[in-house]
Structure 1
Amino acid sequence: MSTTQIVTLAVIAVLLFWAVGAYNRLVRLRNTIGNAFAQIDVQLKRRYDLIPNLVETAKKYVTHERETLEAVIAARNQASTAADHVRARPTDAGAIGALAMAEQALGGTLGRLMAVVENYPELKADETLRELSEELTSTENKVAFARQAFNDSALDYNNAAQQFPTSIVASVFGFKEAGMLQSTTQDVERQAVRVQF
């Protein structure tokens, strides 16, 4: 075997080892995204389980606010379905976007429900409702922390998949860009709240 052949084989072996290493790194990062979403999913499921109890408690007091209560349950079901789609494909940017929109709609309907609660002093004073509201608030905080961990994982994966020369391996093996979870999608909603006296 000539020196040229030995050098060529050595270069091919180094490139092959590098490609395998890059592929395995991308797989590990993609799996980290799946794990990060699993942490969000636990908190979302907890929230989705709390919402029907909250609505049932409110039903005792606000019988003529049926549309609001039904809107909350409908939004909860849509968000739950969107979360199921992300669970199946945690790096799918389209599924992540649909979940973000569904969560935004759920947040809006929950906000309307809480506004209704404010108009009913006896409901506002209900111990069960207060406990459920506190649990819901605690869960919302956990979702926010888990969302940050998910976005950090997605960023690491996207950076690895887009940086040269690993981008070549990502392109060849179909590693697509992972979506990021955002709490809001409209610029108006991102503006800070202004307090006026």
Structure 2
Amino acid sequence: MENWLIWVILAVVVIAAISVYNGLIGKKNQVENAEASIDVMLKKRFDLIPNMVESVKAYMQHEASLLNELTALRAQAQSGGLQGEQKVALDKQMNAAMSRFNIAVENYPDLKASDNFVMLQRTINEVEEQISAARRAFNAAVTDLNNAIEMFPSNLFASRMNLKQRALFEIPATQRENVNVGQLFGR
């Protein structure tokens, strides 16, 4: 009778270990999938920038430095070989440049009236919303993985599997501030 109980306990322990191991692998893969989704959205964004630059060049000749910065960031993103932290930094730079671009657009009513620009601006807004959703999914997956890495008993397996905590996508403090719409309109 005792042998039977030992075998049952051993089977439960093995099943639990397999379950924890598979859960950690699943969480790691979810993070990688979410990160790849962000890459897809960023690629989509970077593919739109040349079209945006060409559309607005005629309207904003003296804003060439901003357009050049956007083009340089796009080239850097397409160069490949960027790691997780580098992607985050490049994304922050792109967000800052896009914010400056949107403010500059407010100063050019003719630009806003252009049908091509309005369509392009809608597309950019859609892509930005998709990137935002992909970031939220990434952060949820990273939080789930980080929790599993820290919590018992999965932390025992995580350390043996060399799983490390991942950083969340965060925005700089300046982008957390409220937008002063009056300032955008010159008040």
| Common fold by TM > 0.5 | yes
Unaligned 5+ segments in structure 2 are none
Structure 2 Cα separation of the partners of residues 26 and 70 of structure 1: 43
TM superposition shift of 1:8: 6.4
Deviations 1:60-119 (A, max 9, x none): 23333321211111122334557x635xxxxxxxx1x33222112112212222333333
Supply the AA of the counterpart residue of 2:177: Q
Change (3 A) 1:189 1:120: closer
Change (3 A) 1:49 1:155: same
Change (3 A) 1:18 1:81: farther
Question: What does residue 185 of structure 1 align with?
Answer: 172
User: Which segment drifts farther, 158-167 or 113-122?
Assistant: 113-122
CA contact (8 A) 1:75 1:109 kept: no
Change (3 A) 1:116 1:193: closer
Change (3 A) 1:189 1:64: closer
Question: What does residue 32 of structure 1 align with?
Answer: 30
CA contact (8 A) 1:30 1:157 kept: yes
Measured on the aligned residues, the alpha-carbon RMSD in Å equals: 2.7
Change (3 A) 1:65 1:191: closer
Unaligned 5+ segments in structure 1 are 87-94
Task: Compute the TM-score of the two structures, normalised by the length of structure 2.
Answer: 0.81
**1:126 pairs with 2:106:** no
Please list, as runs of the form range in 1=range in 2, the aligned pairs for 1:108-127 lying within 5 A after superposition: 108-127=96-115
Deviations 1:119-152 (A, max 9, x none): 3333332211111111001111111112111111
TM superposition shift of 1:170: 0.4
Please list, as runs of the form range in 1=range in 2, the aligned pairs for 1:14-163 lying within 5 A after superposition: 14-80=12-78, 85-86=82-83, 95=84, 97-163=85-151
Deviations 1:149-172 (A, max 9, x none): 111111111111211111001001
Structure 2 Cα separation of the partners of residues 195 and 58 of structure 1: 22
